[in-house]
Chain A
Amino acid sequence: MNFIPPDFTPAYSEIFLLVMVCVVMLVDLATGEKRRYITYLLTQAILLGCAFLTFISFSTETTYTFSGMFVDDAMADILKIMVYITVSAVLVYSYTYVKERGILTGEFFSLILFATLGMMVMISASHFLTLYIGLELLSLSLYALVALKRDSIVATEAAMKFFVLGALASGFLLYGMSMVYGATGSLHVSKVAEAIQNGVGNHEVLVIGLVFIVAGIGFKLSAVPFHMWAPDVYQGAPTAITLFIGSAPKFAAFAFVMRLLIEGMGGMVTDWQGMLVILAVLSMAVGNIAAIAQTNIKRMLAYSTISHMGFLILGFISADWNGYSSSLFYVFTYVLMTLGIFAMIMILSRSGFEAENISDFKGLSKRNSWYAFMTMLIMFSLAGIPPMVGFYAKFAVLQAVVNAGFIWLAIAAVIFSLIGAFYYLRIVKFMYFDAPDTEDPIIVNNDVKVLISANGLAVLALGIFPQSLMGLSLYAIQNSM
């Protein structure tokens, strides 16, 4: 039998990245501590290169390769490009912060790039195992990143929790996948979908498998009741790493749900719809209510993330292109806002001082009115107040939910988002209504200054002109289903 080499074209950007990560590790050996900025610039260049490769291979056609285990469609390309942009922004925001804390090592860059590769594989997976490999690559890199500051007790504890719970979730997921395999005889997303459609396989086994898979998804999305790791990890990890965990992997998580649940097990919509309703309602309730009680800003944002993931899940519940594209739009806006707010926390931190508490935002408008204004835009956006983009995200998702006939769910969602508005307003209150505790000037590099301004203004501008991002998410979904 002749060996036919697979078509590598759809995976060029992944292959390029894999090769380049190795190059980064080698180059870093040569640059050493003093010239680590070379590694940094190289990393940024690699991301640019990946973006270029993804961009030129962009087409509306769906191509499969590696015996159908790997897919390249419009949604994958768009999500990947978003991942590159996000990772690149994360690096810009965290460079100084990481440097001042002595964790600007070569591993920092290579782990971030490996995690990026993991996300890309997840996004492009069309086979349950590919999905799992991508997920593990991402997760293992993240565990290591959280523990990067190894003499910090909280960071180590966070990494340990993250690892144990993450491993448990992976176990759940694998177990669920094996059930599905047992029932359908395949792990190919399309074949599983076909088998479910044709009623092949034992329904009970499939449902049990589905429960495990949904639980695994719940862990990865940090949806209640699988959310326990999120507050500890968000709080314990260095802020730069929290920023990374909270931003780009959400794209991968979205793709994860799309590939596994929608494309793979779409035929069991009536079975998973109810489960997702529970996850969504609990996430919105617990996330928003628990966030009120927090004094640590990172912990508060972790609970806020949980509630936002509840909103994100709402879009999947409606189980049509309208809902999925609304969810995708939600992910875009959520990541944009998360980038901004964690960047602000890092801006407020200095060497030897961690901005950890909500009260560290006190009097920000007097210390620097521009950053306060940017933070305010992001806060109102997170709370879903127009004209900020966060409103349109909520609006799109609610619209999908009402369209699917779940009006009561929409009403519950707005009630919880009303509760949520309180803790976002509290930050605005600290910034604008209170006097500052310290008069220390806020020193920020120019690149961060430009990026945070662009980030904050984008929250407003995309709110005034939401069509571009909405159109993009619609395009991504419609050309991939």
Chain B
Amino acid sequence: MLFGFPLLSLIIWLPILVGIAVLATGGDRNAQLARWIAFAGSIMGFLVAIPLYTEFDAATSAMQFVENRTWFQRFNVNYHIGVDGISMPLILLNCFTTPLVVIAGWQVIQTRVSQYMGAFLLMSGIVNGVFASLDAVLFYVFWEASLIPMFLIIGIWGGPNRVYAAIKFFLYTLLGSLLMLIAFIYLYQSSGGSFSIEDYHQQPIPFKSQVLIFIAFLLAFAVKVPMWPVHTWLPDAHVEAPTGGSVVLAAIMLKLGGYGFLRFSLPITPDASHYLAEMMIVLSLIAVVYIGLIALMQTDMKKLIAYSSVAHMGFVTLGFFLFNAYGIEGAMVQMISHGFISGAMFLCVGVLYDRLHSRQIADYGGVVNKMPIFAAFFMLFAMANAGLPGTSGFVGEFMVIMGAVKVNFWYAFLAATTLIFGAAYTLWMYKRVIFGAVATPAVEGLHDISKREFVLLAILAIAVLWLGVYPFPLTEVMHASVENLLEHVGNSKL
């Protein structure tokens, strides 16, 4: 708490309350009002999150801005929230993304505007709640609640196959989470009646139970990340979701899974984590290499970026299970950077889709002739996606590869292939869409990005470059927490 002020609660509940206000504006007659309230709310949501960074004490790994109140006594569940160097950057990323999503849907969404905008604000607050929760039940409630707005976003505003995608998304993620719930209940019993995540970190657990708990957590988080082979919901969801939905899915929702590994799997079941690390590394490498190859084959731009997301998130899980500072910090940087880059990539595809209503690479060609400014932005993000030095995409991947070298040269070697595959699928797509002669009459009719789109892409471009050139402000805040986590994972809990 900052000067006795419940800052973290404000960060969680402000977007939710504004989201309810937006929903209350009702039908599409008040669409403009809904947009402006949503915009103001999302900007406010970002502004109130700034003190989280400025007042953050980077020297300690302890939880900060802690609030702890009884929620329901029956099961000793508390409204216990706080952040450390791992969750704080993710909350900032989320608060940063929300205004972008609101702006991105400004003109495109013309039906049920208030519900669309409201859903994203609710989503923002709920996701902040996931990152801030220090009580397992509170965490679970936020975690599952985040499915509801996303389900509706995909199902209502999505593409032709949206119903299938929405239900698949929901059931897939629910499957994983339900077993996690059982794991929480088991921990509650064995800890003698506590749902505090920090208690679980200290609690000794027998090896066999650790492995089972690890697997329960793995299902929940692996589906969310998503890891190979449970990634199949992601391309469907991404392709069918509206642009804003894709951005939030890629930039935010995937990070929930990554965060889960750091907050739950590693510290609660360290022995099982070590025991199963090789399996995790292999799964991650399959995601990096095999999914990278699949991405190469895609003809749909959104699907291509979706598969590239899976490959990039493979880096994140790879980094976690190297058990060294480079690996985990690299994975964290990769998560933040992927939030910017994938968000930007989906926005770029959204820009094209809004004009031609096609996501097929074959329907484009020679776009640079008609949209030079857009082509420049898209170039930057494509390069970042490929991991070009100087962009944020490079920093995280480089750090993870460094970490991998320390463990096993071949891990690093396989991981490094992403620099080739990533460049191949991204730049090949870029070439086919942007360069060449104007391919169709439809492309001939394109007009360059509007001011609104320019602002969106410019903000993300600055973020990508800044993090690429000077990642220190990010690594600085997470350093103490990561060191503490590593030390914790190093100690057996048997």
Contact = CB atoms under 8 A, between A and B. Distances in A.
Is chain B found bound to chain A in the same assembly?
Answer: yes
Interface of A: 369, 380, 385-387, 391, 395-396, 398-399, 402-403, 407, 410-411, 414-415, 417-418, 421-422, 425-426, 428-429, 432-433, 465-467, 470-471, 474
Contacts of B286: none
B71 to A, nearest CB: 7
Nearest to B178: A414
B148 A385 contact: yes
B141 A386 contact: yes
B166 A418 contact: no
Given A402-B185, A433-B155, A414 B179 contact: yes
Given A396-B75, A466-B72, A474-B74, A410 B185 contact: yes
Contact of B171 (A395, A421, A428, A474): A421
B8 interface: no
B407 interface: no
B124 to A, nearest CB: 16
A385 B147 CA distance: 9
Interface in B137-189: 137, 140-141, 144-145, 147-148, 151-152, 155-156, 162-163, 166-167, 170-171, 174-175, 178-179, 181-182, 185-186, 188-189
Contact of B174 (A387, A418, A426): A418
Main secondary structure of the interface of A (DSSP, over half): helix
Contact of B163 (A395, A411, A415, A433): A433
Contacts of B27: 369
Contacts, number: 89
Nearest to A463: B141
B162 A433 contact: yes
18 contacts: A386-B141, A387-B145, A396-B74, A398-B181, A398-B182, A403-B189, A407-B186, A414-B182, A415-B178, A421-B174, A422-B167, A428-B151, A433-B156, A467-B73, A470-B74, A470-B75, A471-B73, A474-B74
Contacts of A470: 72, 74-75
B90 to A, nearest CB: 21
A417 B181 CA distance: 13
A429 B167 CA distance: 9
Given A386-B140, A398-B185, A411 B155 contact: no
Contact of A432 (B26, B156, B171, B181): B156
Given A386-B141, A398-B185, 20 more contacts: A369-B115, A385-B144, A385-B174, A387-B145, A391-B141, A395-B137, A395-B181, A398-B181, A398-B182, A399-B189, A402-B189, A410-B185, A411-B182, A415-B178, A421-B171, A425-B170, A428-B152, A429-B163, A432-B152, A470-B75
A385 B145 contact: yes
Contacts of B151: 425, 428
Interface of B: 26-27, 71-75, 115, 137, 140-141, 144-145, 147-148, 151-152, 155-156, 162-163, 166-167, 170-171, 174-175, 178-179, 181-182, 185-186, 188-189
A403 B166 CA distance: 35
Nearest to B70: A467
Contacts of B156: 432-433
A428 B151 CA distance: 10
Contacts of A415: 178
B230 to A, nearest CB: 14
A386 B144 contact: yes
Nearest to A370: B26
A386 B181 CA distance: 12
Nearest to B71: A467
A396 B178 CA distance: 14
Contacts of B163: 429, 433
A398 B181 CA distance: 9
A386 B133 CA distance: 15
B185 A411 contact: no
Contacts of B74: 396, 466-467, 470-471, 474
Contacts of A418: 171, 174-175, 178
Contacts of B141: 386-387, 391
Given A386-B140, A433-B155, A399 B188 contact: yes
Contacts of A385: 144-145, 147-148, 174
A395 B138 CA distance: 12
Contacts of A402: 182, 185-186, 189
Nearest to A405: B189
Q: Which 6 A-B pairs have the closest CB atoms?
A: A467-B72, A414-B178, A386-B141, A470-B74, A433-B155, A402-B185
A429 B72 CA distance: 32
A359 to B, nearest CB: 14
B11 to A, nearest CB: 18
A410 B179 CA distance: 9
A481 B177 CA distance: 35
A177 to B, nearest CB: 35
Contacts of B155: 428-429, 432-433
A294 B188 CA distance: 38
Nearest to A403: B189
A398 B137 CA distance: 13
Given A402-B185, A418-B174, A411 B179 contact: yes
Nearest to B182: A410
A391 B178 contact: no
B167 A425 contact: yes
A425 B174 CA distance: 12
A338 B476 CA distance: 53
Given A386-B144, A391-B141, A425-B170, A399 B179 contact: no
A429 B166 contact: yes
Contacts of A428: 151-152, 155
Nearest to A377: B148
A432 to B, nearest CB: 6
A415 B177 CA distance: 11
Nearest to B137: A395
A422 B71 CA distance: 30
